[in-house]
């Protein structure tokens, strides 16, 4: 028998979905998208089910990313973070908590299907099964969300005939059991749990905590939310440098090979040091790497910085901060300033201005360029003077609490 429902006539949360889910044993749902706000509408009914609710919904994941389990989980992580669930506000914490509890208890299972498999999953339908074995099905405009069931103007057609139930169940099964349908990854499930317990901490409060947790300052950065997080060796170094900085200060040479993410390790260490202190951070890198440094700070870590172009400071938004002479190098508009090694190796007067400041941390990239002057084999036992870069690093070293050197091609000249 066909029944028709309009939210213009009666609210669909009370007139339809909550009534239909009473005494239900399971609920299969094709949804354009799924929202945890649905649990505010029918959470108690779903919780009372002997079985579970299964939802298949949209994903912007490319089909090519779903061909292997590992690639699919990485793609799902990026898709989840792209939706910026952490920006939903304090009210969402209760939803996330309930959503996690339902998933952990096996009461709710969600799979996502790349849009390109069948096109955008725009059809909305559901099959509800009851304890006595009877079933009903519905189709309409309603997504699985609080706004759809309770607030929007929506239409629903219900049909409890065997033919209708089988037709919708076949459609659900075709999507649910498709080889490219992806179950929620452990990352997404754990992130839902994390978001349900997340609290914002003021920097001053965090600084006063004697057991400052570096993870709390890093977990919300783009490298975690947009990328795949940190490798174990990166976490190890950041924690090593952080712990040393909280004590006497960090003095390390990071000699990871090319491609292992040294910039991220150094930048995260510098960010944490800047957060816990009040002094600036100075990054010294080859001229060809200055923009790369600024881009990675901004895009991977969400950290603002400024590059000294030889005359003025230029911030991460490409805004020029006009200077009043070379002394303006001491007035960086950001806590992290990036300068070219060439200014130091050339013996520029800028070095004296830089040495007049004190720093939280100084980072030297491509540090193998700081060494003693090259000598020949015949004079290998003679004393060799340091080059300008090495001399500068020695002289400025007492002016910073921590110093981190990085090179993928560490060398020794005799």
Instruction: Label residue 51 exposed, middle or buried (CB < 10 Å: 0-12, 13-18, 19+).
Output: middle
> HSE on the CB side for 93, CA within 13 Å?
9
The residue behind tokens 């806590």 is 335
Task: Please compute, for residue 306, the number of CA atoms within 13 A of its CA located in the half-sphere on the CB side.
Answer: 23
| Class of the domain covering 202-406 | alpha beta
Q: How much is the pLDDT for 181? A: 85
Residue 67 DSSP code: S
Low-confidence ranges of the chain (pLDDT < 50): none
Output the pLDDT for position 184: 79
Separation between Cα atoms, residue 105 and residue 252, nearest integer Å: 46
Nearest to 367 by CA among 393, 338, 346, 397: 393
Please state, in angstroms and rounded to a whole number, the distance separating the CA atoms of residues 179 and 176: 9
In sequence order, the 6+-apart residues with CB closer than 8 A to the CB of 151 are none
Give burial (CB, 10 Å; 0-12/13-18/19+) of 281: buried
Of 226, 198, 210, 378, the residue nearest 302 (C-alpha): 226
* Tens-digit pLDDT profile for residues 206-237: 777 656 677 777 777 777 777 777 888 989 99
Q: What superfamily would CATH give domain 2-195? A: Endonuclease Chain A (3.30.870.10)
Rounded distance, CA 391 to CA 371, Å?
A: 9
The answer to whether 95 and 193 have CB atoms below 8 angstroms apart is no
pLDDT at 325: 77
Tell me if 405 sits within 8 A of 367, measured CB to CB.
yes
As a whole number of angstroms, the distance between CA 122 and CA 206 comes to 45
List, in sequence order, every residue forming a beta bridge with 361; answer none if it has no partner: 281, 402
Q: What is the pLDDT of residue 93?
A: 78
Q: Indicate the helix (H) or strand (E) that contains 128.
A: strand 124-130
Locus of tokens 């006063």: 208
- Number of helices followed by number of strands (H, E) in the chain: 18, 16
C-alpha–C-alpha distance, residues 265 and 404, integer Å: 10
Q: What are phi and psi of 235, to 5 degrees?
A: -60, -40
User: What residues does each domain of the chain span?
Assistant: 2-195, 202-406
Contacts 24+ apart (CB under 8 A), 246-249: 246/212, 246/276, 249/400, 249/401, 249/402, 249/403
CA dihedral 310, 315, 317, 320 (to 10 degrees): -50
| pLDDT recorded at residue 310 | 87
């Amino acid at each position: 028998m066909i029944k028709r429902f309009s939210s213009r006539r009666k609210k669909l949360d009370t007139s339809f979905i909550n009534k239909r889910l009473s005494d239900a044993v399971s609920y299969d749902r094709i949804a354009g998208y799924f929202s945890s706000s649905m649990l505010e509408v029918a959470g108690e009914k779903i919780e009372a089910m002997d079985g579970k609710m299964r939802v298949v919904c949209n994903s912007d994941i490319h089909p090519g990313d779903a061909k292997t389990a590992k690639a699919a989980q990485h793609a799902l992580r990026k898709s989840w973070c792209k939706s910026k669930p952490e920006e939903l506000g304090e009210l969402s914490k209760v939803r996330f908590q309930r959503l996690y509890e339902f998933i952990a208890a096996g009461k709710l299972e969600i799979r996502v299907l790349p849009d390109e498999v069948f096109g955008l999953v725009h059809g909305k339908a559901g099959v509800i099964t009851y304890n006595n074995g009877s079933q009903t099905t519905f189709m309409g405009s309603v997504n699985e969300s609080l706004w759809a069931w309770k607030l929007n103007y929506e239409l629903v057609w219900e049909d409890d005939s065997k033919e209708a139930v089988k037709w919708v169940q076949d459609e659900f099964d075709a999507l649910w059991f498709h080889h490219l349908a992806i179950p929620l990854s452990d990352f997404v499930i754990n992130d839902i749990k994390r978001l349900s317990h997340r609290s914002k901490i003021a920097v001053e409060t965090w600084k006063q905590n004697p057991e400052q947790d570096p993870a709390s300052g890093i977990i919300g950065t783009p490298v975690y939310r947009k990328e795949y997080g940190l490798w174990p060796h990166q976490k190890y170094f950041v924690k090593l440098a952080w712990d040393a900085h909280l004590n006497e200060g960090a003095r390390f040479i990071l000699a990871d090979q090319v491609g292992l993410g040294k910039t991220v390790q150094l930048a995260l260490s510098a960010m944490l040091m800047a957060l816990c202190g009040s002094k600036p951070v100075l990054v010294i890198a080859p001229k060809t790497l200055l923009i790369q440094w600024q881009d990675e700070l901004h895009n991977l870590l969400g950290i603002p910085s400024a590059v000294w172009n030889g005359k003025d400071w230029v911030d991460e938004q490409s805004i020029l901060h006009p200077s009043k002479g070379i002394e303006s190098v001491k007035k960086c508009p950001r806590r992290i300033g990036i300068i070219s090694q060439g200014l130091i190796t050339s013996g520029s007067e800028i070095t004296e201005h830089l040495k007049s400041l004190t720093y939280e941390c100084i980072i030297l990239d491509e540090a193998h360029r700081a060494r003693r002057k090259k000598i020949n084999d015949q004079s290998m036992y003679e004393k060799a003077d340091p080059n300008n870069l090495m001399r500068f690093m020695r002289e400025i070293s007492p002016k910073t609490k921590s110093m981190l050197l990085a090179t993928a091609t560490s060398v020794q000249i005799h």
